[in-house]
Amino acid sequence: MRPQLLVRILLVLAIGAGLGFATSWAALRNGVAFDLVAAGPWVAAPRLASRARDPYAAAALARAGETPFDLAEGLVFVARADASGAKLDGACVYRVKGPTPPARFWTLTLTDQQGRLVENEARRYGFTSTEIVREETGGFEIVVAPTARAGAWLPAPADRRFALTLRLYDTPSAAAAATLQADALPQLLREQCL
């Protein structure tokens, strides 16, 4: 074999492998998954606990070490953006309001965009449906802000983007997740920013 040819083959293998690893790493880091259900800014992966999940979801899950909800337990929605599509920013004030799909309980949790809880002086990381005083319409309102607010205040990290997780425990919507419309889920409305 001519040395020049050997060098070319080695280059093809090395660059190819490098590209392959880089794209895999990027896909896992950015949470690429194909069987997601979106309703407005809320995204769910209802088949994450099942054998039918896609290979990207399975790989990301193995890396994250999470134990996802089975549909019999409930359904989990994550939002990383507000109603307008802008990323949730800890320096801004958001009003989370409106309906939740029928469920025995729900909880709303604030984390960073990677899903880690965020330290705050109030030691408030989320709300449960029981804690929230419902309006007569059956809706609720939570204010997400970096500084204390009256009412149901969920502290946000002023220096970072964040994510909100809505967990519906024991919900008849689990099997019909794909048909949920944005107006069945809480609205994420941005108010002023610091």
Told to check if 165 binds other proteins by CB under 8 A, we report yes
Residue closer to other proteins by CB (options 37, 189) is: 37
- 118 makes contact with other proteins (CB under 8 A): yes
Alpha carbon of residue 29 to chain centroid: 14
Is 8 one of the binding residues for other proteins (CB under 8 A)?
Answer: yes
Burial code of 66-81, b = ≥16 C-beta within 10 A, e = fewer?
Answer: eebbebeebbbbbbeb
In residues, how long is the chain?
A: 194
**Contact flag: residue 37 with other proteins (CB under 8 A):** no
Exactly one of 10, 20, 30, 178 binds other proteins (CB under 8 A); that residue is 20
CB nearer to other proteins: give 2 or 116.
116
Q: Determine the Cα angle at 124 with ends 122 and 128, to 5°.
A: 150
Q: Smallest gap, in angstroms, from Cβ of residue 59 to other proteins?
A: 4
Phi, psi of 163 (to 5 degrees): -135, 150
Q: Does 59 bind other proteins (CB under 8 A)?
A: yes
Give the one residue of 6, 7, 10, 15 binding other proteins; rule: CB under 8 A.
Answer: 15
Residue whose CB is less far from other proteins, 91 or 111: 111
| Integer Cα distance of 40 and 132 in angstroms | 23
Residue 186's nearest CA partner among 78, 37, 113 is 78
Question: DSSP alpha helices (H): ranges in 30-100?
Answer: 55-64
Which tokens belong to 24?
């895999």
- Which residues contribute to the site for other proteins (CB under 8 A)? 8, 11-13, 15-21, 23-24, 27-28, 49-51, 55-56, 58-59, 61-74, 76, 78, 104-105, 107, 109, 111, 114-119, 125-126, 128-131, 165, 167, 169-170
